[in-house]
Amino acid sequence: MARLVVPGALRMTLKGINNKVNRAVDIVIDVTINSEGFESRNEAIADTVQRTAHHWQDDVLPGSQNDYVFQGTQWLDLDTADGGGGFLPADTGHQTVGSVTGDSASPQVSVLLTKPLRSPQRGLKNGRTYWGPVVQAALSEAGALSSGYIADRQPMWDDFFDGIFVEDGTPPDIQFTYPAVVHITARDEQGHPTAGVAHRHNKWVMQSIAATQRRRLRG
């Protein structure tokens, strides 16, 4: 099967599990890396993967349900067709389990965060991320998140964003890491994506209406 190639891009999947229902909870984050200041792209990738995992554990897990357990980060270098990949287990020196008690909503319900493109273009959609599980007490009967929940959690995601993305560095430790939304530009005969381009996005924005599995499948 053809492999997806996106120049400069790295894909990270934060692997976790909802212990209450024994269900995988994965967060996909795409970035682009300029490895200037490092001996190799592989060294820059290793730095990015570890930094991302630590900030996920330090910034976001305190606001996550205690049903959630972070297992580690799977990564894949999309820069070339033969780009490497690997898995970095969760650092037990940092938080690995969510802190929030209280009943969780159904696993089909999650928080929707959009990734607004910095330079919107016709035909290009903003990116999106789904975060769960969600504490049931934060949801209305209509599926709206409480303003207090958003006010409390949005700064955590802002800190996570600021911790991952380094957009100006000082020699000799220059590394530019940019948030990216990957848009597919080519597919093979079977419909598998083979090529794409990464567009930079601004900070994640938490939406007021929670996403359900039905809404996610409908895009």
Q: Domain for residue 109, yes or no? A: no
143-162: pLDDT as tens digits: 999 999 999 999 999 999 99
pLDDT category of residue 173 using cuts at 50, 70 and 90: low
Neighbours of 172 (CB within 10 A): 8
Query: pLDDT tens across 8-52, in order?
Result: 999 999 999 999 999 999 999 999 988 777 788 899 899 899 999
Nearest-angstrom CA–CA distance, 4 and 136: 38
**Residue 209: inside a domain, yes or no?**
no
38: in domain: yes
| Single pTM value for the model | 0.90
Instruction: Name the nearest CA neighbour of 181 among 105, 120, 92.
Output: 120
Tell me, yes or no, whether 136 lies in a domain.
no
Residue 140 belongs to a domain: no
Per the structure, the complete domain to which residue 31 belongs is given by 9-100+117-128+147-202
89 is a domain residue: yes
Question: How many folded domains does the chain comprise?
Answer: 1
Query: pLDDT confidence of 170, banded at 50, 70, 90?
Result: low
- 111 within domain boundaries: no
Does the residue 186 lie in any domain? yes
Rounded distance, CA 38 to CA 15, Å? Answer: 27
